[in-house]
């Protein structure tokens, strides 16, 4: 890991590839601000979650990409929907 403690996009992709390639019965949960991880080539819709915070009440809400029926598996650039505010 770099000295500043930042997980670079290249390193995070390698970690995910390593975990995905192993035979195991556990799960790997991670959080990221890297929108490039929002793809349906490596993940299922049910594996991608978003968290939003209400600025007035400071309450957080968690919801799944699967909650958006208009997002289909043929859609490859989920981050474009996210950046446009369509996903919250």
Contact (Cβ atoms closer than 8 angstroms) between residue 14 and residue 58? no
| 10-14, 26-30, 82-86: which is most confident | 82-86
**Residue ranges in the chain assigned as alpha helix (H):** 9-20, 78-83
How many helices and strands in the chain, by DSSP H and E? 2, 2
Contact (Cβ atoms closer than 8 angstroms) between residue 48 and residue 36? no
Please report which confidence band the pLDDT of residue 6 belongs to, taking 50, 70 and 90 as the band edges. Answer: low
The pLDDT assigned to 67 comes to: 93
Please report which confidence band the pLDDT of residue 1 belongs to, taking 50, 70 and 90 as the band edges. Answer: very low
pLDDT at 11 over 90: no
Q: Mind listing the pLDDT tens digit for each residue in 16-67?
A: 788 777 777 767 777 778 887 788 887 888 888 999 999 999 999 999 999 9
Residues 6+ apart with CB under 8 A from 62: 49, 50, 51
**Cβ-based neighbour number of residue 12 at 10 Å:** 16
**Cβ-based neighbour number of residue 40 at 10 Å:** 18
């Amino acid at each position: 890991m770099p000295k500043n403690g930042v997980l670079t996009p290249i390193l995070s992709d390698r970690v995910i590839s390593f975990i995905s390639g192993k035979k195991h019965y556990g799960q790997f949960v991670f959080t990221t601000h890297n929108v490039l991880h929002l793809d349906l080539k490596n993940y299922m819709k049910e594996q991608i979650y978003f968290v939003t915070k209400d600025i007035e009440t400071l309450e957080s809400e968690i919801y799944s990409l699967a909650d958006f029926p208009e997002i289909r598996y043929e859609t490859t650039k989920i981050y474009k929907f996210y950046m446009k505010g369509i996903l919250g």
